[in-house]
A and B are shown apart, each in its own frame.
Chain A
Amino acid sequence: MSGPSTYEPKTGFTRWLDSRLPVVRLGWDSFVDFPTPRNLNYWYTFGGILTVCLMIQIITGIVLAMHYVPHIDHAFASVQRIDRDVNYGWLIRSIHAVGASMFFLAVYMHIFRGLYYGSYKAPRELLWILGVVIYLLMMAAAFLGYVLPWGQMSYWGAMVITNLLGAFPLIGGPITEWLWGGFSVGNATLNRFFSLHYLIPFLIAGVVGLHVWALHVPGNNNPTGIDVKSNRDTLPFHPYYTSKDGFAIVLFMVIFAFFVFYWPDALGHSDNFIPADPLVTPALIVPEWYLLPFYAILRAVPDKLGGVLLMFGAIGVLFILPWLDTSKVRSMRYRPLARWFFGFFVLACLGLGWAGAALPDDPVPGLGAVGVDFLMMGRVLTVYYFAYFLVILPILGFVEKPASRPASIEESVLGNSSQSAPAAVPAE
């Protein structure tokens, strides 16, 4: 939909600028006059929310870096000092720490949205893949950031995750030492993790640029999954979606602020208030909540290398998803079977998160009586996770009979008086 530009510079200066560096034209075509399907619902506001999250992390991070000391003898104390002594340090650190969780909350909404409405399908495969790259970089940034306060969970999380790479035969050992810069997680490790933690968000910003570029070539998908056919199907981005996104951002900020001001430590782990001690391992090591499902997948396999491969595979499979889903229908609104499997998939992801937080040998509440422990639950859900992508979506495209779809986006929203309401309303 990147049609001819509609921008017309009006003043002498903007004309002068436009013939030298058409940056205002770029902004106008991308965010003001950009034709956007008229039926986008609130699930489509998370892209804007994510952009805000990234900016918040970068701004608060740069401020934290002015007070933080990346040395094993000073890191913990410097973070405590930010919390207690630095002017408004408590606020800025709280925003950064809570912000990481909010960022992931938003990205999960964004990803599930894409999965439900089939936004990964042609012609948006590259857009989807760039999104998965951003997600990977986010996980790297969050993992590295969590090491910086140098508490017990920081240290042991770093230990367990870097040791994962040791699972690879032959190269594993040298790679972990290369990553550590020593014989174990130590000062060299903390230093380089800080450097990389600072770097990665800027890489993310770069990939976000590509992501938006790849979005603006085919244009947005929408809840019906039907292509835009005429300009009656679209609205200009501004003011319609600037205000809708803006409203969603404000709501999101209310939740964000609730955590920052009233419950800043809820999403962290109490063991991280104990300084890192290489001699004592906490009784239960768990990653931050947003990485728990992958931790459950890792533990589902009794073999070390197998677990590591499966965990990376869980993200790897997202890269090839556009070619795994064989259905011609994009939106699951019109896929009566797929939407059920999708519902179970969401539950499986939540269940994996629960299993990842628990001790593997503990019984699952309610199911303990029949001998189901968290390890077994993790295994069953891991099988479903992979089956959804590798078996269910490929087969479903052939066996499922899609429901009838509206003729156009315009019709799905405004209807033609006879066949209006019921079909289009529910999923919003």
Chain B
Amino acid sequence: MTEATETPGAHGEEPSRRDFIFIATGGALAVGGAFILWPFVDQMNPAADTLALASTEVNIAELEEGQEITVIYRERPHFVRRRTAAEVEAAREVNVANLPDGDARNFNIAAGSPATDENRSAMTAVVSEGVEIEDAVRASLLVTSANCTHLGCVPTEGAGDYGAWFCPCHGSHYDTSGRIRRGPAPENLSVPVMTFTSASVLRLG
């Protein structure tokens, strides 16, 4: 092969050293580029200290029946509501099959569990060893995320068709179990992981 007839990479010819260098360089740049791109993408994900955000403890002893407080857990507001017997009753009477979202959306139990009130209330919370707490109290407590599942606004307490929560942003109505009943929101308000660490303290997370 003389210099004059050599065209790099021409068909039917032995690949030259130049072809090899060309392909190897291109390959190294592509793979290396992909590897170095990832750190620049991933740096935007929640950092380790954010992920490790401490749990939030709620003093439930001072909660009166029918009273609601809003606490921050993992940067997000959460409703903690000690419901009246009537509210619990209303929530239990609902036929789950007719709900827009039939999933309990409760991180304490298996995903896909039906959205009964029992599956949404603090009945599903872990009770630490040695802690005594009445069933009626557990059943009356409801803890949910306070961000509307539509676009994240905080619904107003005691309003809407179900006398529970109404989101003013685009008109979503939630019932006394925090389940979506009417409006654009697609899901029930989610229930965080929770543990009764004593008879008066409920720990979220």
Contact = CB atoms under 8 A, between A and B. Distances in A.
Contacts of B72: 278-279
A138 B183 CA distance: 32
Given A160-B169, A177-B46, A182-B50, A279 B75 contact: no
Interface string B126-168: 0000000000000000000011001111110000000000011
A183 B170 contact: no
A314 interface: no
B44 A163 contact: no
Contact of A285 (B75, B146, B153): B153
Contacts of A170: none
24 contacts: A156-B153, A159-B147, A159-B153, A160-B151, A162-B152, A163-B151, A163-B152, A178-B45, A179-B44, A180-B46, A181-B44, A181-B46, A181-B50, A182-B75, A183-B50, A184-B76, A184-B152, A279-B154, A281-B167, A281-B169, A283-B168, A303-B184, A304-B150, A304-B184
Nearest to A156: B153
Interface string B21-62: 000000000000000000001001111001001000000000
Nearest to A278: B77
Contacts of A299: 170
Contacts of B76: 183-184, 278
A428 interface: no
B47 A281 contact: no
Contacts of A183: 46, 50, 53, 74-76
B151 A184 contact: no
A177 B50 CA distance: 11
A142 B171 CA distance: 27
Given A177-B45, A283-B168, A285-B169, A159 B75 contact: no
Interface of B: 41, 44-47, 50, 53, 70, 72, 74-77, 146-147, 150-155, 167-171, 184, 186
A302 B184 contact: yes
B184 A281 contact: no
Contact of B46 (A188, A192, A285, A307): A188
Interface of A: 156, 159-160, 162-164, 177-184, 186, 188, 192, 278-281, 283-285, 299, 302-304, 307, 360-361
Contacts of B186: 304
B196 to A, nearest CB: 23
A360 B44 contact: no
B151 A281 contact: no
Given A182-B50, A184-B76, A281 B154 contact: yes
A181 B45 contact: yes
Contacts of A361: 171
Nearest to B167: A281
A285 B184 CA distance: 16
A360 B75 contact: no
B170 A164 contact: no
A280 B169 contact: no
A299 B74 CA distance: 29
Contacts of A307: 184
Contacts of B171: 360-361
A158 B170 CA distance: 16
Contacts of A302: 184
A179 B46 CA distance: 9
A139 B184 CA distance: 25
Nearest to B42: A178
A180 B53 CA distance: 15
Given A160-B151, A281-B153, A299-B170, A192 B75 contact: no
B152 A160 contact: yes
Q: Which of B45, B74, B155, B167 has the most CB of A within 10 A?
A: B45
A270 to B, nearest CB: 17
Nearest to A308: B151
Nearest to A299: B170
A280 B72 CA distance: 12
B44 A178 contact: yes
Q: Which of B45, B74, B152, B167 has the most CB of A within 10 A?
A: B152
B47 A279 contact: no
Contacts of A182: 46, 50, 75
A186 B48 CA distance: 15
A32 to B, nearest CB: 43
Give the one of A163, A284, A302 with max B CB within 10 A: A163
B44 A192 contact: yes
A302 B70 CA distance: 29
Contacts of A163: 150-152
A360 B147 contact: no
A192 B46 CA distance: 12
